[in-house]
Amino acid sequence: MHPFSQFDRHNRLQHLITLEGLSSDQICDLLDRAEHYVRGPGQIPARSQALDGITVGNIFTEPSTRTRSSFELAARRLGGEVINLEIMLSSRVKGETILDTIYTLQAMAVDVFVIRDAEPGVGQFVATHVDDHVSVLSAGEAHLSHPTQGLLDALTIRQHKGSFADQVVAVVGDIRHSRVARSAYQVFRALNVGELRIVAPDGLMPDAGEMPGAVRFDTLEKGIAGADVIMMLRIQKERMQDAAIPEQSDYFARWGLTKNRLKLAKPNAIVMHPGPMNRDVEIASEVADGPQSVILKQVANGVAIRMAVLETVVANRKARQSSP
């Protein structure tokens, strides 16, 4: 075991568990690299041999998530081998046994671990224990972190808006329980977004001390007024059984992004959502499918971002091995 750092001794990215601590330059390098992998609809996807000889272990608790597919396609299009494992690392009773599973795979020359687990801390725990040549990438950690989602969100905004400094970005909905919101907050702060707003009903707002610098709004209308970017979050149906939160139809009535409400934002505002959407709960179908929606561009950018991250950590590993 060694202290946790996402960066290796050359200060290059080895793991990606959180966006906390990444500089604007480091983030922009990843976005630039991802841009090389972006293709339009109907084009043959970008490919390379950057992961030739590398085996990626996709460790997810459920078989069919969009993030799992996105990482799998990213790795394979870079010429990597992928092995999918459906296990919940954290359920294996004792801390050591998480490591037994990881060390077993590492001994089989699985060199990159992509991990989604129900418990917080699993990715960081694994990252502090793997060999020097191994990388650990988070594919979503509890309510805390979803770093590749944050990067793809940033890439999508940059594609549509060019820069970050003069943008008003509103993150709307269940911010309190959202790893997407936390990674968005981190990446937007690092990139010096002009104004970052968090917009939520009281029960879904994070604690007072969290997310310093973000401006808080308690109505959708005020929160999106004049915004350049509106990022809607998925709300879990269970939340709406909480007394403090409006029920489903009430939620849509007060917090759903409709075509009419969207007029409060800038005319060329873009609408984002990490998916899967609850249509007509947090977002009206006419908005989700409307001309301002960039939701499917986010999905396409997701593959490109994951390719960029995979390529980066594997290139950094080679640099580490050739000048130890």
**Closest CB to its own copies among residues 132, 218:** 132
Give the three-state DSSP class for 3: coil
Contact 54, 112 (CB under 8 A): yes
Contact 97, 121 (CB under 8 A): no
Number of residues that bind its own copies (CB under 8 A): 51
d(CA 63, CA 183): 24
CB of 77 to its own copies, least distance (A): 7
Under the criterion CB under 8 A, does residue 132 sit at the interface with its own copies? yes
Under the criterion CB under 8 A, does residue 42 sit at the interface with its own copies? yes
Under the criterion CB under 8 A, does residue 39 sit at the interface with its own copies? yes
CB of 132 to its own copies, least distance (A): 7
Two tokens, residue 111: 């060199």
Under the criterion CB under 8 A, does residue 256 sit at the interface with its own copies? no
Pairing between β-strand 135-141 and β-strand 110-117 as defined by DSSP bridges = parallel
Residues 66-95 that bind its own copies (CB under 8 A): 66, 69-70, 72-73, 76-77, 81, 83, 85-87, 94
How many other β-carbons are positioned within 10 Å of the β-carbon of residue 42?
5
d(CA 225, CA 119): 37
Two tokens, residue 22: 């990444």
Which positions from 258 to 287 touch its own copies by CB under 8 A, shown as an x/- string?
-----------------xxx-x-----x--
Contacting range for its own copies; rule: CB under 8 A; set: 10-18, 175-183, 221-229, 297-305? 297-305
Under the criterion CB under 8 A, does residue 143 sit at the interface with its own copies? no
Contacting range for its own copies; rule: CB under 8 A; set: 103-111, 149-157, 186-194, 206-214? 103-111
CB of 189 to its own copies, least distance (A): 27
Two tokens, residue 7: 């960066």
Amino acid at 232: M
d(CA 17, CA 250): 36
d(CA 113, CA 138): 8
Under the criterion CB under 8 A, does residue 53 sit at the interface with its own copies? yes
d(CA 314, CA 140): 20
* Residues lying near its own copies in the complex (CB under 8 A): 39, 41-45, 47, 53-55, 63-64, 66, 69-70, 72-73, 76-77, 81, 83, 85-87, 94, 96-97, 100-101, 103-109, 131-133, 275-277, 279, 285, 296-297, 299-300, 302-303, 321
